[in-house]
Amino acid sequence: MDDDLLAIERKIAEQAGNKLGLRFDKSVVRLVSGLKSALADEVPEGEAVIVTVTAPIKLRAKTGAALESLIRQGGEVPDIIHGKQIRLRRLAGVPAQSPKILGFVHNPTTDAEVILARAEDWLRRRT
């Protein structure tokens, strides 16, 4: 597992006391790490993509492939992919040193909008 790739997601969870219901199990780490590796060159400098997915992840590879394709195409993301609620937020005007991809897997009862807002706020405050 590459815990380094999830350092920012963990930091956001810690700042919120993990009241966001974020998950960091093995499948989650693989999904988020895979997205970051596959899409790092797809997102231009000064832009970022934040993705949320409901847990548990049972079709990790298929879900990851579908997300990669949608992000590359730049299109709208359907609410449901392989039975999981998906939210995606594209940001422009973030500091160049910011991560290009942030991924969060959360419990079904968590409001994804709260996660997206916290992550966006964190990215925009970076200098």
Residue pLDDT, tens place only, 75-100:
667 788 888 898 999 999 998 888 89
**Residue 68: burial class (beta carbons within 10 Å; 0-12, 13-18, 19+):** middle
Domain hosting residue 121, numbered range:
3-125
**Residue 102: burial class (beta carbons within 10 Å; 0-12, 13-18, 19+):** buried
Q: Indicate the number of domains in the chain.
A: 1
pLDDT at residue 20 greater than cutoff 80:
yes
pLDDT at residue 2 greater than cutoff 50:
no
| Percent of the chain with pLDDT strictly greater than 70 | 91
Query: Model pTM?
Result: 0.86
User: How many CA atoms lie within 13 Å of 62's alpha carbon, on the beta-carbon side?
Assistant: 8
